[in-house]
Every structure is written in structure tokens, then in C-alpha cells.
Structure 1
Amino acid sequence: MSTHAVAVRRAPDTFAILLMVALCAIWGMQQVAIKNANAALAPVFQAGLRSAIAAVLVCGWARLRGTPLFRDDGTLGAGLLAGVLFACEFVCIFLGLTLTSASRMAVFLYTAPCFTALGLHWFVAGEHMRRIQWIGVITAFAGMALAFADGFTRAGATSHASMLAGVAGDALGVAGGIAWAATTVVVRATKLAHTSASKTLFYQLTVSAVVLLALSVPLGQVHVATVTPLVVASLAYQAVVVAFVSYLIWFWLLTRYMASRLSVFSFLTPLFGVTFGVLLLGESFSLRFLMAAVLVLAGIALVNAPARQRVA
């Protein structure tokens, strides 16, 4: 990827921070929606269908606003790469969840901000992080590890084969985090940084829809069980609210604010997911979660701490 100079992004202001918190809540709620839809739609097929529906919506939105999606602006290569990485992230998540627990997957997947910060530090001018911000990333990740520590303390595998399967699932979680981080870096370090949020998202949704739907065939995941209103509502939430609205806002934020500062907010997403699980699915709740939330918020505050002004 090129290290050419790009337009300077600013640190998140109050408006951007509030938007990111709202986005994390939306993304956290997505886990409940996926679980509700899993009863009728196979995971990989579900992910591909979500991307396909959202791609159509983005196309309609762009046409309504007069935003060109098919003009040759030199972003095709980067767009295809971002789309493949986006698809890889979801393949890793869904396949990994068949081998390891959801709590372990969350810990490994949400290493993404750490990989994002590293990638941006190396490839994007103006995204270098200071020591205090690195401490913030480590603090936030410690909070994540604490929040999902039960995944590490429960009874282990009962056989060597199941233990190896669990390790493979954990590795897929890390791979998903790397793919997520790489997608953000591609968006910021290439010509996609100068194109519209609609076009950037259209690339990812279209390519991922093709890849995921194609993969669902050899994986034997092309099947639909009894479709209920809850399943329809859950799929609509994923496609319209998450993949269409929230991702448009996310890529719009990336065109104006420092991605390294924004990405650390993603640590909030699984915490919201646990909260919604407690409220909507009756899952367990512990003091450990509250302590973890404090660490995550502290990490976010450190990453977004303003630089000290030097006294002349």
C-alpha cells in the first residue's frame, strides 16, 4: 500500500464520539439479531444475504443523492481488496464460532483496534500514535479480556482433537480481527480515502455478498428453515440498520477523523453485546463486567487524550 500523503484527519470531537458510541451500540445489538436469525438462516448465507440487501440500498441511496458509483476514479483495485477483506472477516467469524466459544471469539476478534493502530502507524501519514495512546489501547484490551475472562476459566477441552479445534477457532478470531483492521487501513491508505462513503461501502458490500453467497454453497449453508416475523426483523436490522445506515456513517467518519482514534471505540461493541444479551436474552451478568467497562472507557479516554501544548 502506498504511503503517499493524505488529507489530514482531526481527532474525534464530541459529535464524533457520540456517533461512535451509538454505532457500537448498534453493532453490539447485531449479535442478538444474528442469534435470532440463525434458527432459520445458515450463518454464512445469512451474512451474504445481508450484504446483498444492503448493497441494493446503498446503490439506491447513491442514485438519490447523485453520487457516482461506477465512474472510473482509480479505486477499483483498492475497492475489490477491501471487499475481499470484509468478506474474509465474516468467514473467519462464522467458521470460528463453530470451533470456539463466543466469548473467546469476542476477545480475539476485538484485537482489531490494536492491528489497526499498527497498520495506520506504518502506512498512513498523520495517524501516528503517542505513548499515552498505546497505553490506552492496552488498557482497553485488558478491559475486553476481563469482560470475557469466563471464556478462559471454564472447563477446557475434553480431548486432544477438541482442544486443537478450539485453538483453530481462536486463530480464526485473530484472523478476523486482522482482516477487519486491514480493511480500515486499505480504506485510509489508498484512493478510497478520497472517494465517497457510499462508494467505499458499495465495494465492500457487493464483493462480500458475492464471496459469501458463493462460499455458502460448498459449505452446505444454503438452506432456509421456518421464517418467522422475528427472523425477518432480525435480518432487516442487520441489512438496513447495521450494514446500510451504520456502515455509511462509519465510512463518513473515516473521511473526517483519525481512524486510529475512532477504531478504539470498537472495544465498546462487545460490552454492548453483553448488555443486550442480559436485557433481551436473560444471559448472566457479573461485577466483572462493570469493572471491564471502566477499563474500556479509561482506555478510550487515553487514546483520545489531546496532545500537550509545548510552552515556548
Structure 2
Amino acid sequence: MSALRKGADLFLFQLMLLLCAIWGSQQVAIKLAAADMAPLLQVMLRSALAALLVGLLVVWQRSWQGWLGSTWRAGLLAGALFGLEFFFIAEGLRHTSASHMAVFLYTAPIFSALGLHLLLPSERLRSLQWLGIGLCFVGVLVAFGAGTDWTRLDGRMLLGDLLGLCAGMAWGATTVVVRGSRLSEAPPALTLFYQLAVSLFVLLGLALASDQLGPPRWTPVAIGSMLLQAVVVSFLSYLAWFWLLRRYLASNMAVYSFMTPMFGVTFGVLVLDEPLSLNFMVGALLVLLGIALVSGEAWLRRRLRAGRDVFEQR
């Protein structure tokens, strides 16, 4: 199948641009509606509605047949990690900005690359990827405020940033579980249903334990946030992503996907009027460069090889 997958073209770029903008708006939507509905309640209801939509699709496609027996254990683990990811996002957004969350959350490819490096021989990291991991690590330290007077830093924001990093770790671990199990071969809708359905119960338990199930105010902002998160992000955009994965090279898509945190930062500044410190901007650029090297190493290697061949022909 991989030989039939296409390289990058204008259609892929346009659709990935739309998907990245959608994904980058998610943290901003949660933050925007936080005054009307607790972030943890938002992500819990999002999982419930999206699980219903994806579950109906799974039943309609009959994509569960023949897969439940070999995937349910990995599905439970992936779903639990998925729930932890969104718990960290919801809790983090109570303390930090959506711009910060967008950057720290999307460190996930770094953690998944490290996990797959240890788990699968075919996923060994190359030199450029190790360089990317190093840049990302330095970028995180700079974004956290390394080299400045720590007594002047906002401890509440630092806690939120740390929770965003934990969300990235949980997302990366989810990827490792999916790639290292039968879920990697299962129908995408079934894998997504596991994550949404199991995460619903994880989030419900955590919400009950943290006493964050207060009555929401169903304002237009809260309703719009729920529809965006559940229908557009968790249902339509993920299905579009899986559809693209079946038609285009994953390495090209990975390079484009690193635009997501840039959209997140931009929307945070434009919609929520969030300030950006110099430390964070420099750190974020290093993190994004590191992610690009890790995720797009195969694409970059091909480009370098093509450039070298052209030079040698001259």
C-alpha cells in the first residue's frame, strides 16, 4: 500500500492547513468557554458526544468485527492515556494560556519517537531526529523561563505549562501503544472509539474526584465550543486525517502537521489577547524546530538527497 501513497501536492497542503487550523483552535475554544463550563466538564462531554458519533460509524461500517478479541487490552490502555491527556489539558488551561498549552501539548511527537525507538527496531531514531529532540528539550527549558529570575516567574503559569507537557507525554504514550499493538492494523474508527469511550469514564472519575461537575451555563460560546470539539475536531477532522493517511505519505503529513501549534499561538493572541514573553517565543521556536526535525526527518532526508544528486550532476 505504501507504494501507492502519493507525495505532497496542493490538495494535501490545503486540507492540512485547514486541519491544523481546526486543531490549533481547540485549546482556545476550551479557554474561551471556561467561564461558562469548567474545562474538565467540557472535555468529558466532548468525549461522550464524539464517542456516540464514532460508535455509530463503527456499527454502520461493522469495523469492530474480528478485531475486538485482539485489540481490547491495547484499546483500554490507549483510551486511559487519551483520558489522561485531556485531563492534563483541562487542568493546565485553568492555570496557563491557550498559547502555551498549544506548544507544550505538541511536544507529543518527541515522546512518541523516544518510546517507539525503545520498542520497535524499525523506529530507531536517526541523527537529525536526536538533534531535534535536543532542540526541543532546550526549547522547553527556555520557554519555562530558564536563565531568568525564577522569583519573578508566575508559579501558576509554570504549573499549567508543566501540565501541558504532561499532556504531550500522555499523547506520545498513546501513539506508542497504538503503533506497538494490533491497533496499528485495526480500522481507524475502532481505534478512535476506544480512545473516546474509555477516556469518557477516566475523565468522569477524575471530574468526580476533583469536584468540577458544577452546572454549566449553556451560552452560545459554550455550545459552540462543544460542537467544535466533539463534532469538528474529534469526529470530522480525525476521520479526514485517517483518510489522508491512506492516500499520502505519512512523512509529508507529519511536516505539515507541525503548523498546528503555530495556529494555536496565533489564535490565543488574536482571540484571547494573550501576551507572549520573549522567553516563550524563543523557546517555542526551538520546540517547533525540534518537532519538525523529529517528525519530518524522512521527508528532509529525501530533500537533501535530491539536492545532493542535482549538485553532483552539475
TM-score range, shorter chain: 0.7 to 0.9
What SS does the aligned partner of 2:301 have?
coil
Equivalent in the alignment of 2:221: 230
Aligned with residue 180 of structure 1, among 152, 171, 194? 171
- Cα distance in 1 for residues equivalent to 2:247 and 2:218: 41
TM-score normalized with structure 1 length: 0.77
User: Is residue 245 of structure 1 aligned with residue 232 of structure 2?
Assistant: no
- Cα distance in 1 for residues equivalent to 2:274 and 2:158: 25
User: Is residue 95 of structure 1 aligned with residue 78 of structure 2?
Assistant: no
- Cα distance in 1 for residues equivalent to 2:177 and 2:15: 22
Indicate conservation of the 8 Å contact 2:107/2:291, yes or no: no
Equivalent in the alignment of 1:13: 7
- Cα distance in 2 for residues equivalent to 1:306 and 1:194: 27
What SS does the aligned partner of 1:202 have?
helix
Deviation at 1:66, TM superposition (A): 3.9
Could you tell me which amino acid in structure 2 is paired with residue 196 of structure 1? P
Equivalent in the alignment of 1:116: 112
Q: CA RMSD in A?
A: 4.1
Deviation at 1:59, TM superposition (A): 1.4
Equivalent in the alignment of 2:301: 306
Indicate conservation of the 8 Å contact 2:99/2:266, yes or no: no
Equivalent in the alignment of 2:54: 58
Deviation at 1:218, TM superposition (A): 2.0
TM-score normalized with structure 2 length: 0.76
Indicate conservation of the 8 Å contact 1:188/1:254, yes or no: no
- Cα distance in 2 for residues equivalent to 1:204 and 1:96: 20
Aligned with residue 49 of structure 1, among 37, 45, 51? 45
Deviation at 1:281, TM superposition (A): 3.3
Aligned with residue 191 of structure 1, among 182, 186, 189? 182
- Cα distance in 2 for residues equivalent to 1:192 and 1:173: 26
Equivalent in the alignment of 1:74: 70
Indicate conservation of the 8 Å contact 2:40/2:203, yes or no: yes
Deviation at 1:113, TM superposition (A): 1.5
Indicate conservation of the 8 Å contact 2:143/2:281, yes or no: no
Indicate conservation of the 8 Å contact 2:67/2:186, yes or no: no
Could you tell me which amino acid in structure 1 is paired with residue 92 of structure 2? G
Higher helix share: 2
Indicate conservation of the 8 Å contact 1:30/1:238, yes or no: yes
User: Is residue 281 of structure 1 aligned with residue 276 of structure 2?
Assistant: no
- Cα distance in 1 for residues equivalent to 2:30 and 2:204: 16
- Cα distance in 2 for residues equivalent to 1:105 and 1:278: 13
Indicate conservation of the 8 Å contact 1:103/1:151, yes or no: no
Equivalent in the alignment of 1:36: 32
Indicate conservation of the 8 Å contact 1:51/1:209, yes or no: yes
Q: Which moved more, 1:96-105 or 1:115-124?
A: 96-105
Query: Unmatched 5+ residue regions in structure 2?
Result: 310-314
Equivalent in the alignment of 2:208: 217
Deviation at 1:205, TM superposition (A): 0.1
Q: Which moved more, 1:106-115 or 1:14-23?
A: 14-23
Deviation at 1:37, TM superposition (A): 2.0
Indicate conservation of the 8 Å contact 2:105/2:165, yes or no: yes
- Cα distance in 2 for residues equivalent to 1:104 and 1:38: 16
Indicate conservation of the 8 Å contact 1:105/1:170, yes or no: yes
- Cα distance in 2 for residues equivalent to 1:286 and 1:175: 22
- Cα distance in 1 for residues equivalent to 2:83 and 2:151: 29
- Cα distance in 2 for residues equivalent to 1:69 and 1:206: 18
Deviation at 1:245, TM superposition (A): 1.6
Report how many aligned residue pairs link the two structures.
300
CA deviation vs aligned residue, 1:83-126 (integer Å, no higher than 9, x gap): 00001111222223445555554554333221111112222343
Deviation at 1:20, TM superposition (A): 4.1
CA deviation vs aligned residue, 1:284-311 (integer Å, no higher than 9, x gap): 5799969966984796376231343899
Q: Which moved more, 1:217-226 or 1:276-285?
A: 276-285
Query: Unmatched 5+ residue regions in structure 1?
Result: 1-6
Identity %: 46
Equivalent in the alignment of 2:312: none
- Cα distance in 2 for residues equivalent to 1:101 and 1:170: 8
